[in-house]
Structure 1
Amino acid sequence: MAVDLSYSPEVQDLTQRTRAFIDDVVLPIENEYAGDIVAAGGDDLRRELNAQARAAGIFAPHAPVELGGLGLNMSDRSPVFTAAGHSTFGPVALHLGAPDEGNVHMLSHIASAEQKDRYLTPLAKGEIRSAFAMTEPAPGAGADPNALRTNAVRVAGGWKLNGVKRFITGADGAGMWIIMARTHGEPGDRGGATMFLAPGDAAGISVDRYVHTYDRAMIGGHCEVTLTDVFVPDEDVLGEVDEGYRYAQVRLGPARMTHVMRWMGIAERGHEIALDYVSEREGFGGKLGDLGMIQQMVADNEIDLAASRALLTRACYELDQSEHASNSTSIAKTFGAEAFSRILDRCIQMCGGLGVSEDLPLARLANELRPFRIYDGPSEVHRWALAKRAVGRARKQREAGVKHV
């Protein structure tokens, strides 16, 4: 039986309306402010664009329908999120950017009814933003989550949290926090972490500074945060105590794929800009697009985009089947992150001097893409995990008497 890779008419229509909204409403603002979300208005702009997206019927396509979203599964999110990603402001405009989108997804699956009322409902509706606080300064948790040092101690009625977090996206102005802290064992031990919920104004949470990075389209920055005796009542423990890493997997795989979707939109946009340029630019007796070296770059872009879409489609299918999808999400994330940077680099090269100028957005789009090879797990860590699992499978097969000759 043939595999159906088509999208329903409803999803196709939503994708087209999203792309039209991005082109007509969002891109002019992004271009006017050179991709700087703070200069463009920050949260005031977010609220304005959210209202317009809501009126257009394209707001929060991932969020539960009962909370004002469109309730799309992972597979159907792909073309819509990619269309939104054609502008670096698009994810903010439709309320499908990181970390809010991943936090909505996780809270929808894990939070208690009371937690959903207090935290998920205002977040899904765009009334507040959120932050997911796991990463720490060295020697704390980063690509290795087992190095977690933020500490949670049992007290009457709940827990007290102490530690320092770094690279916390959206921290400045967050209306709620999901905080990963150690409740068992020592740094370096496997497991022993718990997720805690806290309101944005919880006592003891201090946003100390922005860690300035290449990308400029994230509201609330990437910040360093200090936690000093932050009290979290028992009812705000998210999931079970000591099971934080297991519950975090509900978020991490899907969030990696929605990152791929959004950044694929940037790669597609760059490719479209370069194609427009080389199809019209005269040089060496003809159009640049008729030259073999240019055609090779165009073809390589087409290959990278097609391969990224195929890997993303497979990973989303597995996630929609409630599979763990560890391999497929790592493969899609690693390939996509590297492919998209390759695409923008070729686009810049094809456009020559204009490519590195501010007359075109290609150079700043390349800057937006570069961190993706680090965010949500560096490429090297995903490769290590993929290889470790593959070698483990081979050993088990050998022990079972299976030999490949």
Structure 2
Amino acid sequence: MIDFDLPADVRDVRARVAAFIDDVILPAEKEIGTRPFFGLVAELQKVARERGLWCPFVPVEYGGMGLGHLANAVVQVEVGRSFSHLAAWAMNCMGPQDATMLTLIEHGTEEQKQRYLIPLVNGDIRVCFAMTERAAGADATGMQTAAVQKGSSWVLNGEKWFTSGASISQLALVMAKTDPDAPRHEQYTTFLVELPDPGFEILRNIPVMGEHDGPSYGDEVTMGHAEVRINDLVVPDENILGGRGRGFAMGQHRLGYGRLRHGMWSIAKAQAALDMATARACERVTFGQRVADRQGVQWMLSDCAEKLYMTRLMVLHLAYKMEKGLDLRVENSIAKTYIANMLIDVIDTAMQIHGSLGYTHDLPLAAWLSEARMNRIVDGPDEVHRWTVGRSVVRAFEKAGTTASAAGGDLF
């Protein structure tokens, strides 16, 4: 039996999160830029805790709500309605916090969980993820940052690029090459690094497309994408996460959830853009006719609705596979590229229907489009995911004489 009804408990938690977004978060977004951002976040986090809306995906024993994958997917779509990400900050499910918590839960030692996971869940510290390097780009196995063992510690040297959130973090996950002679995917290890540390030098926050198009957060740095120099950074052996040579696997574990989270939030933003586009088409009259009554415009809206429908089905299917513990690597790559392009297309269509108004900063569409463009690069560029899927298609055919297993064939 195929059942798309949400269980009662999932509907209940969705309603509670939606009410929190509508009653608390959206009004608070008007205060951004008028006061210290993290002071506002602290107040909202207190309310979220009081309402039992804290770290949705974290097990209860570590201080979270203990939601399953389906419930969390539904909740994250609601969280995505806060386009300043204020809801995610308030509920302590902001990236890269969220994926790192999940990785620590799955692969951390008990000591690491007590020392790092619990403070992350409590909101006492923030974390960044230092994997990408300028020279390696999307090839995670091309990293050159090296770690050399000296006694019971490791000494790291190299550079990192686009370490999001480094400027505001007290903890970093740093990937470095520990075993250059091992098989390619077993050469790297992930280290837990406490910040600040003189060996982890933040050179600058890299200017990015559209970063001044969104809301102003005042003088505080709320995220930033840091360029980092790692120079004789000493890390104790007990701060290895997941085991020596398991760095690539750790990276893929946390990136997997990040790709899903981007998809969940993209649904909310695309829906808002489609709503804006349709409202504009209904209210605007040209040449004696509503824009909404023109077939060409209806086709544009239809295309957007089709893509949003497909996106919702993808996210639900991925949540189902996660609930069942099934392999979703191919589906995750398909969804990652599809949803990233879906969001760009829907926002661009909304801008087009708004005409010149859509291109101005009187509306949020221009800022949304700038941010959405990032999704085709972060957590693996489109081309790498399409390459992954393409190889899976070939392998499926070579193994079974059909490509079905690489194209959702397990559904029917």
Identify which range, 23-32 or 334-343, moves more after superposition.
23-32
Query: What is aligned with 1:49?
Result: 44
Query: What is aligned with 2:389?
Result: 386
Query: What is aligned with 1:167?
Result: 162
What TM-score, normalized by structure 1, do the two folds share? 0.91
Query: What is aligned with 2:331?
Result: 328
Deviation string, structure 1 residues 170-206 (Cα, Å, up to 9, x no partner): 1102021111110011799443100111112234111
How far apart, CA to CA, are the structure 1 residues paired with 2:100 and 2:350? Answer: 34
SS at match of 1:172: helix
Instruction: Name which of 311, 316, 320 aligns with 1:313.
Output: 316
How far apart, CA to CA, are the structure 1 residues paired with 2:183 and 2:263? Answer: 30
Instruction: Name which of 181, 195, 208 aligns with 2:190.
Output: 195
How far apart, CA to CA, are the structure 2 residues paired with 1:26 and 1:59? Answer: 14
SS at match of 1:344: helix
Deviation string, structure 1 residues 56-111 (Cα, Å, up to 9, x no partner): 33222112222332111222111211111112223223221211111011111110
Report the CA distance shift for 1:239/1:223 in structure 2 as closer, same or farther (over 3 A): same
Query: What is aligned with 2:25?
Result: 26
Query: What is aligned with 1:213?
Result: 208
Q: Does 1:12 align with 2:11?
A: yes
Q: Does 1:150 align with 2:145?
A: yes
Report the CA distance shift for 1:117/1:337 in structure 2 as closer, same or farther (over 3 A): same
Asked whether the equivalents of residues 263 and 340 of structure 1 are also in contact (C-alpha less than 8 Å), the reply is yes
Asked whether the equivalents of residues 141 and 248 of structure 2 are also in contact (C-alpha less than 8 Å), the reply is no
Q: Is there any run of 5+ residues in structure 1 with no aligned partner, and where?
A: 399-405
Q: Which amino acid aligns with 2:144?
A: R
How far apart, CA to CA, are the structure 1 residues paired with 2:289 and 2:11? Answer: 37
Q: Which amino acid aligns with 2:2?
A: V
Displacement of 1:302: 0.9
How far apart, CA to CA, are the structure 1 residues paired with 2:313 and 2:325? Answer: 19
Displacement of 1:8: 2.1
Deviation string, structure 1 residues 107-144 (Cα, Å, up to 9, x no partner): 11110110000100111121111101100111x3x211
Instruction: Name which of 68, 92, 98 aligns with 2:89.
Output: 92
How far apart, CA to CA, are the structure 2 residues paired with 1:152 and 1:137? Answer: 18
Matches within 5 A, 1:124-143: 124-138=121-135, 140=136, 142-143=137-138
Query: What is aligned with 1:403?
Result: none
Instruction: Name which of 101, 116, 119 aligns with 2:116.
Output: 119
Q: Which amino acid aligns with 1:156?
A: G
Q: Which amino acid aligns with 1:250?
A: H
Fraction of identical pairs, as percent = 35
Report the CA distance shift for 1:215/1:80 in structure 2 as closer, same or farther (over 3 A): farther
SS at match of 2:166: coil
CA RMSD of aligned residues (A): 2.2
Q: Which amino acid aligns with 1:130?
A: V
Displacement of 1:252: 2.2
Identify which range, 103-112 or 10-19, moves more after superposition.
10-19
SS at match of 2:175: strand
Displacement of 1:151: 0.5
Q: Is there any run of 5+ residues in structure 2 with no aligned partner, and where?
A: 215-220, 402-412
Asked whether the equivalents of residues 159 and 233 of structure 1 are also in contact (C-alpha less than 8 Å), the reply is yes
Deviation string, structure 1 residues 227-272 (Cα, Å, up to 9, x no partner): 1111111111101101211233322222211111122211112122
How far apart, CA to CA, are the structure 1 residues paired with 2:111 and 2:210? Answer: 36
SS at match of 1:202: coil
Q: Which amino acid aligns with 1:27?
A: L
Displacement of 1:299: 1.2
How far apart, CA to CA, are the structure 1 residues paired with 2:143 and 2:151? Answer: 24
SS at match of 2:66: coil
Query: What is aligned with 1:257?
Result: 260
Asked whether the equivalents of residues 289 and 295 of structure 1 are also in contact (C-alpha less than 8 Å), the reply is yes
Asked whether the equivalents of residues 19 and 83 of structure 1 are also in contact (C-alpha less than 8 Å), the reply is yes
How far apart, CA to CA, are the structure 2 residues paired with 1:39 and 1:190? Answer: 47
Report the CA distance shift for 1:222/1:366 in structure 2 as closer, same or farther (over 3 A): same
Report the CA distance shift for 1:336/1:153 in structure 2 as closer, same or farther (over 3 A): same
Report the CA distance shift for 1:354/1:31 in structure 2 as closer, same or farther (over 3 A): farther
What TM-score, normalized by structure 2, do the two folds share? 0.89
